[in-house]
Amino acid sequence: MNVRLLTSADLDGVMLLSREAGWNQTREDWARMMALTPQSCFGIDCDGRVVATATAYCYGSELAWVGMVLTAADYRGRGFARATVQATLDFARSQDVAWIKLDATDMGRPLYEKLGFVAEYAVERWLRPPSPAAAATVEAYRPNPELDLEAFGADRSSLLASLAPIEAASAGGAFALGRPGSKAAYFGPCVSRNMDSTAKLLDWYLSRHAREQVFWDLVEPNPDAFALARTRGFAPVRRLMRMVLRGRAWAPPFVERPELVYALGGFEFG
């Protein structure tokens, strides 16, 4: 099989895969990924179409995130997922990345374990149906790179800068971003030191999307986020496992504070 780089010419093909799988990604999401990391978006063609994908987004030399791992249903069991994921790992190691992470479905987890990934903690997707929401007063978005680095563990300023023009706000030093989805509006990422600031940002977002479903991805080490989600009418719909792989043998410990992460940036970004 031939693993190749994806380009903008593949947008129709990868969106067909996304729709078949019921993913929330939009054409703009795929285009953003290809623009941000053109050297690590991989695909496999079969029968004249793209049938498998995987991507790796590098946060400097500290961390690479594997995402967009997808194989068309009729082409599973042929080793396509293993080949595309291996391409992302080879790329990450070529960049001397210290650690590699991903969010694994139950279907994908056995493959990742064979490749050496180990489980860290669960992440969950919660859904809120269209519902009225009271607005909250927030501030204009101001990046807080120190807080984000402390929470996430790696510098993702380039990613946040690419997402901020879509929808973003700050409150009490915390910040939240959002973007459209093919199935639901997406709240995240959000990083905060306290529940009050997070609640303001969440209410700000929900009031702007009261007529839409909203997805919110949460991390298990932050129980406050789960508590807040329940008060705003969210319910869990999907559970994945965050997994990690050492990129280089001499990598220092990866330091993060997931209790400050109130919303992921997406399963493809962490």
pLDDT digits (tens, 9 = 90+) for 162-192: 999 999 999 999 999 999 999 999 999 999 9
Is the backbone of residue 184 left (phi > 0), alpha (psi -120 to 50) or beta?
beta
pLDDT digits (tens, 9 = 90+) for 82-135: 999 999 999 999 999 999 999 999 999 999 999 999 999 999 999 999 999 999
Answer whether residue 230 shows pLDDT above 80.
yes
Under DSSP, the state recorded for 258 is G
pLDDT digits (tens, 9 = 90+) for 33-90: 999 999 999 999 999 999 999 999 999 999 999 999 999 999 999 999 999 999 999 9
Domain with CATH 3.40.630.30 in the chain: 3-120
pLDDT of residue 160: 98
Q: Angle 27-36/11-21 helices, nearest 10 degrees? A: 130
The arithmetic mean of pLDDT across residues 193-201, rounded, is: 97
Domain with CATH 3.40.630.90 in the chain: 125-239+251-263
Nearest residue to 178 (alpha-carbon basis) of 169, 187, 170:
187
3-120 homologous superfamily: Gcn5-related N-acetyltransferase (GNAT) (3.40.630.30)
Nearest residue to 78 (alpha-carbon basis) of 56, 52, 43, 41:
52
Query: In terms of DSSP bridges, do strands 235-246 and 99-104 run parallel, antiparallel, or are they unpaired?
Result: antiparallel
Contact 244, 120 (CB under 8 A): yes
Average pLDDT over the chain, rounded to an integer:
97
Predicted TM-score (pTM) of the model is: 0.96
Sorting pLDDT into bands at 50, 70 and 90, what band is 260? very high
Helix (H, G, I), strand (E, B) or coil at 105: coil
Q: Percentage of residues in the chain with pLDDT exceeding 90?
A: 99
Neighbours of 202 (CB within 10 A): 29
CA distances from 164 to 28, 140, 157, 188, 233 (A): 14, 11, 10, 11, 26
Contact 52, 81 (CB under 8 A): yes
Sorting pLDDT into bands at 50, 70 and 90, what band is 207? very high
Task: State which CATH number among 3.40.630.90, 3.40.50.2300, 3.60.15.10, 3.40.630.30 fits the domain covering 125-239+251-263.
Answer: 3.40.630.90
DSSP H helices, 37-135, are: 80-94, 109-114
Sorting pLDDT into bands at 50, 70 and 90, what band is 1? confident
